[in-house]
């Protein structure tokens, strides 16, 4: 090798970077992850509300709330700026509460603390009534068998419903459970069928103010109800029916209160009832009630009367069979003539109907 060849070889070798991977490709640059949240703490109203946060990131991020009562939407995002809605229902727990919402992008995390004071539970009970029966669902357990009994079976229940009503627990499937201060009635898939709950009070009452604080399930096919039937039932609709609250999943947040008797019932299109739109019926608890006297039946939601049915005083059971003891019913149907009128969406199962309390009041003079 002459001197010129040696110098050329040396120049070529010195121009090679041994740090490059095989093939001569540059190593990828590591991007520094960036995440910012415009608030680190805020308070929501005690009666429930929302707050919008601004999230900025240069990569995929996720959000997580450590409290069930505090929700985020959306809970994931990507590059750029995203508005995130933080929501909480009304706080009637009796104590102030806090939640931490954590946002994470790769190795970077930011936390926002959400606080909410406790609100005083509204009292919509009419004057002159005293509490005579209640279930507050405070102790974790199955529903109290001294107060409730189950109706079971999959007969369609006169409405071509699709669910099989079970007695609370079937195998490992719990469909009625008291936890965290509420009763959960759960409709769920079990094999090829949908199982759910239809439960009734053992006791019955003639006249009174009947109240439940409820949060309704979501999903096309759900049909939650809070209603009353006569203790000494012999025939429908002749013995009467009082529907305190009904809603179907394909028409969310539209609440109905209805009565049925021989002269007025849905099978002949003459039922008497009223409806009201409650925008947060599926995301928050509301108080649904009926006041029943010898003169009228009135349906309420959050203290607002939206349905009145008067006793015509004709002395005719066909138009007013409401003078005998009735008991209370809670159930979550799946499908049926009304609940399934626009089909069912089994991807929404399990669906949960949540009950904070059920209370019965009667006139002090009774």
Spatial separation of the C-alpha atoms in residues 66 and 61, rounded to whole Å: 17
Q: Buried b vs exposed e over 99-111: b needs ≥16 C-beta within 10 Å?
A: bebebbbeebebe
Spatial separation of the C-alpha atoms in residues 246 and 248, rounded to whole Å: 7
Q: Is residue 127 exposed (0-12), middle (13-18) or buried (19+ Cβ within 10 Å)?
A: exposed
> Which pTM was predicted?
0.81
- The alpha carbon of residue 166 and the mean position of all alpha carbons in its chain are separated, in whole angstroms, by 21
pLDDT of residue 2: 56
Comparing C-alpha atoms, which of 226, 250, 218 is closest to residue 337? 250
Q: Which parts of the chain sit beneath pLDDT 50?
A: 4, 6-8, 10-13, 16, 18
What is the set of domains in the chain, with CATH numbers? 35-116 (2.60.40.10), 129-363 (2.60.120.200)
Q: Which residues touch 284 (CB under 8 Å, ≥6 apart)?
A: 48, 89, 90, 215
pLDDT tens figures, 294-327: 999 999 999 999 999 999 999 999 999 999 999 9
pLDDT tens figures, 144-194: 889 999 999 999 999 999 999 999 876 667 899 998 889 999 999 999 999
DSSP state of 6: H
Spatial separation of the C-alpha atoms in residues 217 and 258, rounded to whole Å: 20
Comparing C-alpha atoms, which of 239, 274, 236, 234 is closest to residue 254? 274
Q: 67 phi and psi, to 5 degrees?
A: -130, 135
Is residue 264 within 8 A of residue 254, CB to CB? The reply is no
pLDDT of residue 7: 47
Q: Name the residues annotated as catalytic.
A: 241, 246
């Amino acid at each position: 090798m002459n001197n010129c060849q040696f110098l050329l070889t040396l120049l070529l070798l010195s121009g090679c970077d041994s740090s490059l991977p095989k093939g001569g490709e540059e190593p990828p640059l590591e991007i520094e992850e960036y995440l910012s949240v415009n608030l680190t703490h805020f308070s929501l109203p005690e009666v429930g509300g929302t707050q919008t946060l601004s999230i900025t990131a240069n990569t995929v991020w996720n959000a997580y709330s450590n409290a069930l009562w505090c929700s985020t939407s959306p809970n994931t995002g990507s590059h750029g700026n995203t508005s995130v809605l933080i929501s909480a229902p009304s706080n009637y727990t009796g104590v102030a509460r806090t939640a931490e919402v954590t946002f994470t992008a790769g190795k970077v995390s930011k936390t926002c603390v959400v606080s909410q004071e406790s609100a005083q539970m509204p009292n919509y009970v009419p004057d002159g009534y005293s509490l005579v029966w209640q279930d507050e669902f405070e102790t974790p357990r199955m529903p109290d068998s001294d107060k409730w009994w189950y109706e079971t079976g999959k007969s369609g229940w006169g409405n071509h419903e699709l669910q099989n009503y079970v007695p609370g627990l079937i195998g490992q499937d719990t469909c009625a459970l008291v936890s965290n201060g509420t009763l959960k009635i759960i409709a769920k898939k079990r094999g090829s069928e949908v199982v759910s709950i239809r439960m009734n009070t053992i006791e019955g009452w003639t006249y009174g103010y009947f109240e439940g604080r409820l949060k309704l399930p979501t999903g096309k096919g759900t049909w939650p109800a809070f209603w009353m039937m006569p203790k000494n039932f012999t025939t429908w609709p002749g013995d009467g029916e009082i529907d305190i609250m009904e809603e179907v999943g394909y028409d969310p947040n539209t609440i109905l209160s209805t009565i049925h008797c021989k002269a007025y019932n849905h099978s002949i299109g003459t039922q008497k009832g009223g409806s009201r739109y409650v925008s947060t019926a599926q995301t928050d608890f509301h108080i649904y009630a009926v006041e029943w006297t010898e003169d009228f039946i009135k349906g309420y939601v959050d203290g607002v009367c939206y349905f009145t049915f008067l006793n015509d005083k004709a002395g005719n059971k066909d138009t007013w069979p409401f003078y005998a003891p009735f008991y209370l019913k809670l159930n979550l149907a799946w499908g049926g003539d009304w609940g399934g009128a626009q089909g069912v969406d089994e991807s929404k199962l399990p669906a949960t109907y949540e009950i904070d309390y059920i209370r019965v009041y009667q006139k002090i003079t009774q």
